[in-house]
A and B are shown apart, each in its own frame.
Chain A
């Protein structure tokens, strides 16, 4: 496996010499996400060859795997020990890798209760833009030695380093899960979700779509049943299929070819008056909008900002509107400085996150 790393390093060194950007590619499941790496001369760095689980101790709640490991393989091994990636990562293809999952930094429905990818990252090994082989963080839950560079990699879209290995905290799967549903208007749904979240109830996910609020309860059988009684809602038959369709975006809501926006905002924000159909997750903190008219970008971004958050043009952008929410000049200055330190020649996925990086 060391030879694979040496091959990656040689590719980076060559890219630095030739000043040719590298387009880092894992399983390709998220190739639609983010901006295109603009330079036509970009070389593909295939990072699937460095794969496999390195260390897994169920009783330590920690797994370390190579970044090219398929997510499905990793989750199946965890599942054999009754454990899971609690941030419920979307796959979008069987080929999805751990590295892509961390680089994209996207989490699924359980994120609202369990935490996000970055919350579970304990350490990484990476190659920076000059091919130095670096370890940050570690394989233990609590670690404050040095700056938290491992979590900085989450969502950086490969612009700061090529991920080689990732250590993650894992959690036991809940003993019981049931899904409840109720017909309700959007404003009331937002209020209910947030009120319930402030009470000790085992709600692990929420979704509001087509005037129906879906709730998933997870935990000990006794706790789930008691909560069901308190909430008094109906049980939804195939909960597992429903949540999977939301996470994997196979739900009919996501089937439109129109631009799909992802707004991460204050969960209590009133229903957004932006044009297009919406689906809510995370107690209202995540709002998906299918927007009929691509020229509505400005109004969507200002609505997200007014609600304390940001908007990503998640799918079906036109290549002109920036995918990620523009940063303030002060923040962009820090971003540019960090990029310059990790990748001085700007060869790692340049432009994938912001055209300036």
Chain B
């Protein structure tokens, strides 16, 4: 279909200012939060109603035009990277909180609603939406569903998949499906689970019903410094072995502590090899009880320094450092590359040592922040994109970290998604039969492969090429091959 015809047909569906096709208008959409990957789409569309999306999908389906959905564009794996021959479907303007039902503890929201906006709207009822990815002020709930986003509190409160009840989903041919229900389960296959984290490959979500939970009466943070990362890892295991599920449990290594402290002066112990933040929440009585036990366990586990937040301001202050880890990385290095592997926690020391070895080998510094409770590791590789070859070196380093996570019994992505970024490592984590099954699932929803094509699941052909690349010591061959 010629571009002019496509634009004309889109104008029949949308107002003129909701169709973008001039290069300078497309530019802001060329990448998501992973700016290393850039691609201009043919057209960007910004519908405001579900019926407009239906018509856009029908148009694209009839003409076999790829469709890439985009929420706030904060994703970290290139999942919303446009398709050169495709339509970029921005859902940012479909951003209404449709209804909050305080008694049933649910909110019906459109996909463009920001994660934090849900909790802000629910606050009047003493309720909130639990998953809190660090981008929560900006990221949208539609994107959270696409990525199955977590956050620092997910060991206790779960991921997106645990906190949603129902979706309105448009299939590529424009059919509207209700997935899930107002009860806690629904008839038939658990499509709600299958769709959560499906990276925009199976359908377009136009409404999400999320669960809201009561705000705990109190939260208190215990901050402990350790002179050895291994001791900090063991301390986490000891807390859990004592039957405690902290609301949050975060670890930072020395290089992160220094980067953050110089940036923010959060009061972190600069002599520590690792800092552990351990949060307790619940009723006043429960928190007092739990914090006391956590304090004892951390002390017995060899903490060199323990502080308890004495008030809400101090608690937020302790957290501020952890939450500023990414900007701090941006301050000590021109660029950084955030990885997202998950490992069984008992393998932490081994994986951190491996990262340190690779860091020396590649001559690139690496900061490590760790959702210690659930084993989700975010190494931040510091590099300078203006140095020729450094991005390529960084990607290779990152790829090796992910493969190490797989060998440790973990996974290449805990919460950021595969997108474009980790598609090669999918070949390492899954067998050809398993990858074929993923393609079959995709085909059950989208037989022509029009939704977000080329993301999340590699073709077997691509894996064969990637295997060949490995044999040649990681030297990138076949760079002319499309990356899908």
Q: A219-B282, A327-B187 are in contact. Are A147 and B441 (CB under 8 A)?
A: yes
**Are B413 and A145 interface neighbours, CB within 8 A?**
yes
The segment from B40-48, B307-315, B320-328, B423-431 that touches chain A is: B423-431
Which residues from chain A contact B373 at a C-beta distance below 8 Å?
141
Which residues from chain B contact A202 at a C-beta distance below 8 Å?
282-283, 286
**Are B103 and A145 interface neighbours, CB within 8 A?**
no
**Are A226 and B196 interface neighbours, CB within 8 A?**
no
Question: Quick one: which of A147-187 are within 8 Å of B by CB?
Answer: 147-149, 151-152, 154-156, 160, 171-173, 175
**Are A116 and B342 interface neighbours, CB within 8 A?**
no
Q: In whole angstroms, how far apart are the Cα atoms of A244 and B54 in the complex?
A: 48
Check A220 for interface membership: any CB of B closer than 8 A: yes
Contact with B along A203-240 (1 / 0, CB 8 A): 00000000000000001111101110000000000000
**Are A328 and B105 interface neighbours, CB within 8 A?**
no
**Are A59 and B240 interface neighbours, CB within 8 A?**
yes
Q: In whole angstroms, how far apart are the Cα atoms of A132 and B434 in the complex?
A: 9
Q: In whole angstroms, how far apart are the Cα atoms of A143 and B409 in the complex?
A: 12
Check A286 for interface membership: any CB of B closer than 8 A: yes
Q: A57-B344, A140-B344, A156-B189 are in contact. Are A146 and B426 (CB under 8 A)?
A: yes
**Are B243 and A173 interface neighbours, CB within 8 A?**
yes
Q: In whole angstroms, how far apart are the Cα atoms of A337 and B440 in the complex?
A: 9
Check A316 for interface membership: any CB of B closer than 8 A: no
Check A11 for interface membership: any CB of B closer than 8 A: no
**Are B411 and A172 interface neighbours, CB within 8 A?**
no
Which residues from chain A contact B66 at a C-beta distance below 8 Å?
none
**Are B182 and A115 interface neighbours, CB within 8 A?**
no
Which residues from chain B contact A147 at a C-beta distance below 8 Å?
194, 197-198, 201-202, 438, 441-442, 457
Q: In whole angstroms, how far apart are the Cα atoms of A58 and B241 in the complex?
A: 7
The segment from B9-17, B157-165, B266-274 that touches chain A is: B157-165
**Quick one: which of B158, B183, B343, B441 contacts A149, CB cutoff 8 A?**
B441
Looking at B186, B283, B343, B430, which has the most chain A CB atoms within 10 Å of its CB? B283
Question: Quick one: which of A82-110 are within 8 Å of B by CB?
Answer: 82, 105
Question: Quick one: which of A252-308 are within 8 Å of B by CB?
Answer: 263-268, 282, 285-286, 307-308
Check B30 for interface membership: any CB of A closer than 8 A: no
**Are B183 and A285 interface neighbours, CB within 8 A?**
yes
Check A334 for interface membership: any CB of B closer than 8 A: yes
**Are B184 and A338 interface neighbours, CB within 8 A?**
no
**Quick one: which of A59, A118, A265 contacts B193, CB cutoff 8 A?**
A118
Q: In whole angstroms, how far apart are the Cα atoms of A98 and B122 in the complex?
A: 38
The segment from B55-63, B173-181, B467-475 that touches chain A is: B173-181
Looking at A118, A144, A147, A342, which has the most chain B CB atoms within 10 Å of its CB? A144
**Are A341 and B191 interface neighbours, CB within 8 A?**
no
Q: A115-B158, A223-B289 are in contact. Are A308 and B283 (CB under 8 A)?
A: no
For the A-B complex, the count of residue pairs with Cβ-Cβ distances under 8 Å equals 282
- Residue of A whose beta carbon sits closest to that of B417: A144
Looking at B182, B410, B417, which has the most chain A CB atoms within 10 Å of its CB? B182
Q: In whole angstroms, how far apart are the Cα atoms of A301 and B364 in the complex?
A: 62
**Are B194 and A151 interface neighbours, CB within 8 A?**
yes
Check B113 for interface membership: any CB of A closer than 8 A: no
Question: Quick one: which of B404-459 are within 8 Å of A by CB?
Answer: 409-418, 422, 426, 429-431, 433-434, 437-438, 440-445, 456-457
Contact with A along B342-377 (1 / 0, CB 8 A): 111110000000000000000000000001011110
Check B482 for interface membership: any CB of A closer than 8 A: no
Q: Report the interface size for chain B: residues with CB under 8 A from the other chain.
A: 98
Q: In whole angstroms, how far apart are the Cα atoms of A338 and B440 in the complex?
A: 8
Which residues from chain B contact A197 at a C-beta distance below 8 Å?
105, 214
Q: In whole angstroms, how far apart are the Cα atoms of A324 and B189 in the complex?
A: 11
Q: In whole angstroms, how far apart are the Cα atoms of A172 and B426 in the complex?
A: 33
Distance (Å) between the CB of B451 and the closest chain A CB? 13
**Are A144 and B182 interface neighbours, CB within 8 A?**
no
Check A128 for interface membership: any CB of B closer than 8 A: yes
Question: Quick one: which of B145-169 are within 8 Å of A by CB?
Answer: 147-148, 150, 154-155, 158-159, 161-162
Q: In whole angstroms, how far apart are the Cα atoms of A82 and B244 in the complex?
A: 11
Check A61 for interface membership: any CB of B closer than 8 A: yes
Question: Quick one: which of B212-259 are within 8 Å of A by CB?
Answer: 212, 214-217, 237-238, 240-241, 243-245
Check B465 for interface membership: any CB of A closer than 8 A: no
Q: A152-B193, A222-B285, A327-B188 are in contact. Are A144 and B243 (CB under 8 A)?
A: no
Which residues from chain B contact A143 at a C-beta distance below 8 Å?
342, 410-411, 413-414
Q: In whole angstroms, how far apart are the Cα atoms of A354 and B433 in the complex?
A: 27
Check B104 for interface membership: any CB of A closer than 8 A: yes
Check B171 for interface membership: any CB of A closer than 8 A: yes
**Are B289 and A341 interface neighbours, CB within 8 A?**
no
Q: In whole angstroms, how far apart are the Cα atoms of A202 and B281 in the complex?
A: 12
**Are B342 and A142 interface neighbours, CB within 8 A?**
yes
Which residues from chain A contact B375 at a C-beta distance below 8 Å?
60, 140-142
Q: In whole angstroms, how far apart are the Cα atoms of A266 and B104 in the complex?
A: 7
**Are A198 and B184 interface neighbours, CB within 8 A?**
no
**Are A223 and B176 interface neighbours, CB within 8 A?**
no
Which residues from chain B contact A325 at a C-beta distance below 8 Å?
187
Q: In whole angstroms, how far apart are the Cα atoms of A111 and B176 in the complex?
A: 29
Which residues from chain B contact A201 at a C-beta distance below 8 Å?
214, 283
Which 7 A-B pairs give the minimum distances between C-beta atoms? A308-B182, A151-B193, A172-B243, A309-B183, A142-B414, A337-B444, A264-B183
Q: Can you report 9 residue pairs joining A to B where beta carbons are below 8 Å apart?
A: A141-B376, A143-B342, A144-B418, A147-B194, A198-B126, A200-B214, A266-B182, A267-B183, A307-B183
B binding-site residues for A, Cβ under 8 Å:
101-105, 125-127, 147-148, 150, 154-155, 158-159, 161-162, 171, 175-179, 181-191, 193-194, 196-198, 201-202, 212, 214-217, 237-238, 240-241, 243-245, 282-286, 288-290, 342-346, 371, 373-376, 409-418, 422, 426, 429-431, 433-434, 437-438, 440-445, 456-457
Known: A119-B162, A220-B286, A226-B286. 20 other contacts (CB 8 A): A58-B240, A139-B344, A140-B411, A145-B412, A151-B161, A151-B194, A152-B189, A156-B189, A172-B243, A200-B283, A220-B285, A220-B289, A222-B289, A225-B285, A265-B182, A266-B104, A268-B104, A282-B184, A330-B171, A341-B437
